[in-house]
Amino acid sequence: MRQTVESAKAMGFAALLDRIKEAGLTEYGLCPEPLADRIYAACAKEGDAYVHAGLNNADVDRVLLGLLREDPERVLAGIFAAGTLVGAAAKFLYIPEEEKELTEALRPLAEEYKIVLVNDIINVRESEGDLLLHIVTAAELADLIDGCSESGVYVSTDGETLKKVPGDTPVPELVSLEGAKAVYLGYGYCTPDEAKEMKAKDATTGLIRVLSEKDCIVSETAKQLLKYRKASCGRCVFCREGLIQLEFMQREITMARGKSSQLDLTKEIGEAMTCSTLCTVGQESSKIALTAIEKFGPEYEAHYKKNKCPAGVCTAFVHIYIDPQACTGCGDCLDVCPADCIEGKPNFIHMIDEFECTKCGKCIEACEEEAVQMTSGKLPKLPNRLIKVGKFKKH
């Protein structure tokens, strides 16, 4: 076991709590209360108290799990020390369900620290009165005991690598805002102008992601909502049903079936979710949709009013066609089409059946003549039957 555990035992309850108070150690994430207060509250619980450590339930970005991957013993020692302070009957570490490999890798070490690993989110209702501990807080508690604390917050700008920076570091010092359309941080979007005023500590999940003109806000929002749907335990109606509805409506908009009423409904459901749910999944997940609509309304309008995806991402708004002047009738596109929707024969201009085309883009890659084109505008005049190469007349 790491020295942290021996040091914590040697220090004793009072001295360790004094150190936590002097250092001003606060719980990381969405409930930034002094850790000492949370420990006192758990000690005052009637009956057995437990420690439940993990990410915020709503943290579907998972970048802060990097702390567990980099130095698991640091996090486990922090959980152990917190458990000793509250006299915990048991200590649990919650790891997202999809991280089975990480869980198995941690199991021998967790057994040594008498920490139970759970592949789930924290059940907030059942853990009332217990000590809820973010894994960042656990890591920082271990550092404090070891005498190697450094103030700051963890951020990742590539979704993988974590670095610790002072909490008041301006966001523009961490990411380039040149060509940015939006910045995703702390469960929602902000505009590049807003991002100029934001600090590293605003990135609650640790992730700062810059979206460019090539990223579609509606499509990105739908993807993130799907991650929340997967994370939801389904106990609260507003979280379970709300997320299904929110994701469905954003997806409909990306598939050219959008209506302005879907925006009003998104706002209504999103706002209701924030105050009618038990944990951060329900309370935070709608922020992405609410901020997307509030700050990037014109991009939504372009989808449902102009039938256009400004980023060119939503394939429902694009057409793929073969330029009859450029096609040499070689057949390469036909050979690679997984939907079998290209008609042609050698030396004849090939044609795409738009109704069957899945817009996978394989034919674009295959055509050396660059005859397969993608457009979000109007289609040019195209042959309606097989015509020999060179014989197609535009007019």
Instruction: Give me the torsion for CA of 372, 373, 374, 375, rounded to 10°.
Output: -150
Q: Are strands 188-190 and 208-212 parallel, antiparallel or unpaired?
A: unpaired
Count of other CB atoms within 10 angstroms of residue 250:
29
Instruction: Please name the helix (run of DSSP H) or strand (run of DSSP E) that holds residue 94, with its range, or none.
Output: strand 90-94
Closest CA to 243 of 260, 221, 210: 221
The interface mask with ligand SF4, positions 161-200, x = CB under 6 A, is ----------------------------------------
Asked if 351 touches ligand SF4 (CB under 6 A), the answer is no
User: Of residues 117, 265, 318, 341, which one binds ligand SF4 by CB under 6 A?
Assistant: 341
Quote the CA–CA distance of 265 and 272 in Å, as a whole number.
11
The interface mask with ligand SF4, positions 20-59, x = CB under 6 A, is -------------------------------------x--
User: Of residues 129, 361, 380, 390, which one binds ligand SF4 by CB under 6 A?
Assistant: 361
Asked if 274 touches ligand SF4 (CB under 6 A), the answer is no
Segment near ligand SF4 (CB under 6 A), from 3-11, 190-198, 206-214, 275-283?
275-283
Asked if 331 touches ligand SF4 (CB under 6 A), the answer is yes
How many residues bind ligand SF4 (CB under 6 A)? The answer is: 43
The interface mask with ligand SF4, positions 95-134, x = CB under 6 A, is --------------------------x-------------
Asked if 328 touches ligand SF4 (CB under 6 A), the answer is yes
User: Of residues 184, 200, 329, 351, which one binds ligand SF4 by CB under 6 A?
Assistant: 329
Asked if 337 touches ligand SF4 (CB under 6 A), the answer is yes
Alpha helices in the chain (DSSP H): 3-23, 35-43, 66-70, 72-86, 100-112, 135-146, 192-196, 217-231, 237-254, 260-275, 280-284, 287-295, 297-304, 332-336, 362-366
Asked if residue 391 lies in contact with residue 360, where contact means CB atoms within 8 angstroms, the answer is no
The residue (of 312 and 331) whose beta carbon lies closer to ligand SF4 is: 331
Q: Are strands 163-165 and 153-155 parallel, antiparallel or unpaired?
A: antiparallel
Quote the CA–CA distance of 66 and 102 in Å, as a whole number.
11
Helix (H, G, I), strand (E, B) or coil at 211: strand
User: Of residues 43, 175, 177, 278, which one binds ligand SF4 by CB under 6 A?
Assistant: 278
User: Of residues 41, 165, 233, 382, which one binds ligand SF4 by CB under 6 A?
Assistant: 233
Asked if 281 touches ligand SF4 (CB under 6 A), the answer is yes
Count of other CB atoms within 10 angstroms of residue 109:
17
The two tokens of residue 13 are 């309850």
Per CB under 6 A, residues contacting ligand SF4 are: 57, 121, 232-236, 239-240, 277-279, 281-282, 320, 322, 327-333, 336-337, 339, 341-342, 344, 350, 352, 357-363, 366-367, 369, 371-372
